[in-house]
Amino acid sequence: MTHYDEEIALIRDLLKKNPKGMTISEIACALSLNRVSAARYLDSLHYSGQAEMRQFGRAKIYTLATRLPISSFLNVLSSPMLIVDGDLFIRDANNALLRLFSLKREDVLSHSMLQTKLSASYSGMFPERIQEVINGKEHVEEKSFERKGKRYSFIVRMVPIVDESGQPCATIVLEDITELKRYQQHLETMVELRTKELQETNDRLTSEMEGHERTKEAILISRKKYRALVEDMPAYICNYEPDGTFTFTNENFCVFMGKDAKDLVGVEVFSVLSPKNVTLIQDALKKISHEYSAETITLEFTGKDGTPVWHQWTIRAFYDRRGKVAEFQSIGIDITDRIRTETKLAEEEKKLDAIIRGSPLPQMIIGKDHRIVSWNTAMEHFSGLKAGQMIGATTFGNIFYDRDRPLLADLIIDEKFDKLSEYFPQNCRRSSYLDDTWEGITFSRIHRGEGSWVFFTAAAIRNGEGVITNVVETMEDLVGYKTKDGTSFIVRPLFPMIDKDALN
C-alpha cells in the first residue's frame, strides 16, 4: 500500500468514527497532517464519490458518502444498460440488454467488452471513448445494427458513475429509436421523391419561361408545392432561424399550439414553450454540429384536457454555402400512447410482484431461461430458502425431489406437455377450472427428515402473442391423519379430502 493509500484509509476511518462530519482543520490536526495535504486528500475522496461535503459559511464539513449500488436499479429500467470499468470489463448488465442480444448473464459478466458478442456493436474508438467518459465527459452517439434480418437504431448514452467501492465506471444506456428512425426515413423518402419531382418540374418550367418574372413565378409555384407536401404530413413541423424566430409552421403544429400560422411566424420559439422545454431544446441545439447535424429529444406538454402529452422531436440544422447554420427544422410525432403504455406496463408489473410476494401460498415464478424471477415470503418459510439465494438461480429439482429433475414449471415453460406423464406419472392433470394450469400431488424432500406430500400447481403466463413467457408454481403441504376406523387420509388444507390410496 502506498503512502497516499494509507493516508486516504486513515481519513476514511476517521470520518467513519465521526458520522456528523469533520472540517479540514479537525482532520489535519487529528492525523498530524498539514492543512493543504488534508484538503487534497478530501478533494480526492469527494470527487471519487467516497465522501460528501456540506458548506456552512466558510467551513466545509466532510462525511463518508452513503449510496445504494447502481446495480440494484438496473432492472427497474426498461432501456438496455450495462456498466463497464476502465479496463473494459463488464461489471453488470440488466435483463433488457441480455434479452436484446440473446445473452446469458454469465456470457458477459466479468468479461472484456471486446471479447463478447457485444464487440461487433462497439469497436474502433470505443476504448478511448470509455476512458473519456470515466474521466467525467459524457458522450452521446447514434448506432445501428442488424439482428435476425431486422435493423435496430439506438441513441447510445455513456455517463460517468462511481460504483459502491468508489471506483469510476461508465454506464452505457441504449435508447431505442428504431420506430422513429423508420418513420423519419419514410418522411425523408417522401420528401426526396417529392423534391425530385418538384425539382424536375422547376427545371422544366425554368427552361420554358422567358425572363426574370416568369422564373420567379416558377420558383414560387415550386415552393407552394413543397409547402403543400409538408402540410399534408402527419407530423408537427416548424422551421426557425438560428436566433429562434419561426419562419414556417405546418397546420398540425398550429392546431396543437392553438394558434394561426400568422400568429407564430416571426415570433421566437422559446416564448411559446415552458421553461423546462426551453432548456431541453437549447441543450439540443448546442450539441448540433457538422459532424452531428441532428438531435432527438422528448418534450412534455399539457394537453387540452389538462393531461400530459409527450412528443419526440428531431431537430436538424441546414447550412449555407459558408458552412453557417441558415435554419433549423424540427419534426415531431406524438408518442403519448407509447409513454402511457410503458408506464401502465411498469405499474402492472409492480402490482403483480406485490400480489405474488404477499400471497399466503408458497409460490415461485420462472422465466424462459429457467431462472427464478420471484420467490415469495410464503415460499421462503415453506422451503427454508431465502429469496436472495434463489432469485436469479436456475431451477434444479434436487431441492424438491430426491434427484435433479425438471419441475412442473420447467416442462410447461418449454411446452413439453408430452413429458408430463414421464416425470409425473400419477396424480398430475390439467386443471378443470383454470386455463393453462396443471395440478397434482407428489412426494417432496423439501423438508428435513423423511419429506412430505405436497399439492402443487403450475400456471402459464402468456404475452400478447400467446407465447408462454413465465410460469407460476405453487406448493402446499398436505396433512396426514387417520379416522377412528383406521382409514388413512391425506388432505390439502381448506380443500376436499383425497384418499391416500389414490396417491400410490
Q: Is 310 exposed, middle or buried (0-12, 13-18, 19+ CB in 10 A)?
A: middle
One-letter amino acid at 484 equals K
The yes-or-no verdict on residue 387 having pLDDT over 80 is yes
| Same fold? 71-176, 359-503 | yes
Domains of the chain, by residue range, sit at 3-64, 71-176, 179-229, 234-343, 359-503
pLDDT of residue 115 exceeding 70, the answer is yes
| 359-503 CATH fold | Beta-Lactamase (3.30.450)
In this structure, of 91-105, 236-250, 322-336, the range with the lowest mean pLDDT score is: 91-105
pLDDT digits (tens, 9 = 90+) for 397-444: 777 777 788 888 999 999 998 888 888 877 788 888 888 899 988 888
Q: How high is the pLDDT of residue 165?
A: 64
pLDDT for residue 79 is more than 80: yes
Q: Is the pLDDT of residue 214 over 70?
A: no
Residue 126 near residue 147, CB atoms below 8 Å: no
- Topology adopted by domain 3-64: Arc Repressor Mutant, subunit A (1.10.10)
Superfamily covering domain 71-176: PAS domain (3.30.450.20)
State how far the Cα of 18 lies from the Cα of 29, in Å rounded to an integer: 14
Please say whether the beta carbons of 142 and 154 come within 8 A.
Answer: yes
Quote the pLDDT of residue 305: 85
CATH topology of domain 234-343: Beta-Lactamase (3.30.450)
| pLDDT for the residue 123 | 59
pTM score: 0.36
The band of 93, judged by pLDDT with boundaries at 50, 70 and 90, is: confident
Banded model confidence at residue 81, pLDDT cuts 50, 70, 90:
confident
Rounded to the nearest 5 percent, the helix, strand and coil shares of the chain are: 40, 30, 30
Most confident of 223-232, 284-293, 342-351, 393-402: 284-293
User: Among 462, 485, 459, 481, which residue's Cα sits nearest to residue 472?
Assistant: 459
Residue 504: per-residue pLDDT: 42
Grid coordinates representing 29 are 490536526
194: enclosing H helix or E strand: helix 178-208
pLDDT class of 245 with cuts at 50, 70, 90: very high
Three-state DSSP class for 296? strand
